[in-house]
Structure 1
Amino acid sequence: MNIFFPRSLKLAYRKEPISSFILILGAVDAVIGGVGGRWSLLSVGLIIAVIGILVRWQQLQKSQAVAVKNNTKYALPPSSSNSPLPLLTHNKQRKG
C-alpha cells in the first residue's frame, strides 16, 4: 500500500468529516453487499457513496464561491496624499 494513501485519506477526513463519513459508510455497505451477494445492500451502499461524493462536491463549490466573494477591502487608501505627522519630542522644563 502506498504510504501517501493513508495520509491523504486522513487529511480528507479531517477536512470534510461529514461527507467522508457518508462516503465511507456507503463504500463499506457496497463491499459487504458485493461480497455477501446481497444486491440490495450493494445498491444502497452505492447510492449512499454517490450521495457522499455529491455532498463533498457541493461543499467544495460553496467554499470556492466564498473565497471568490471575499474580497479584501481597505479602510485607508494605499498611499496618503498628506505629509506624515511630525515626531513628538518631550522637552522637560524645570522650575527652580
Structure 2
Amino acid sequence: MNPLFARFLRSVYRKEPISGFILILGATDALIGGFGGKSSLLSIGLFIALLGIIMRWRQSSKKTPVKPSKPARYLLPPSSSREPLPLLVNNSKRQK
C-alpha cells in the first residue's frame, strides 16, 4: 500500500471515525463495482460514500459552540438559614 494513501486513510478515519468508516466502505464498494463491472455494487457504493460525505459535513457544521441562554441555576441555596434536619434513628434500637 502506498504510504501516502495509508496516511490519507488514517487522516480521514481519525477525524470522525463513524463517517470515515462509512465513506471508506462506500468508496471501496464503488471501486470493486467499477472494476468488476457490477453496476449495482457501483451504485450502492457511490450512495454509501455520498452518505458518509453528508454525515461528515453535518458533523463538522455542528461543531460551532452553543452559548447557554440562561445562567446556571442552583438547586440548593448557598447557605441554609433553617435548622438542620433531625437525625433518623432506627426503631429497633429505640425499643431496647
TM-score (norm 1): 0.60
Question: Structure 2: any 5+ residue segments left out of the alignment?
Answer: 69-96
RMSD: 2.0
AA of the residue aligned to 2:45: G
Pairwise mapping of residues 1-96 of structure 1 onto structure 2 (< 5 A)? Answer: 3=4, 6-63=6-63, 65-66=64-65, 69-70=66-67
Q: Distance in 1 between matches of 2:51 and 2:39?
A: 18
Distance 1:70 1:10, change over 3 A: farther
AA of the residue aligned to 2:61: Q
| Cα distance per residue 1:31-86 (max 9 Å; x no partner) | 111111110110000000000000000000011x22xx358xxxxxxxxxxxxxxx
TM-score (norm 2): 0.60
Q: Distance in 2 between matches of 1:70 and 1:7?
A: 36
AA of the residue aligned to 1:62: K
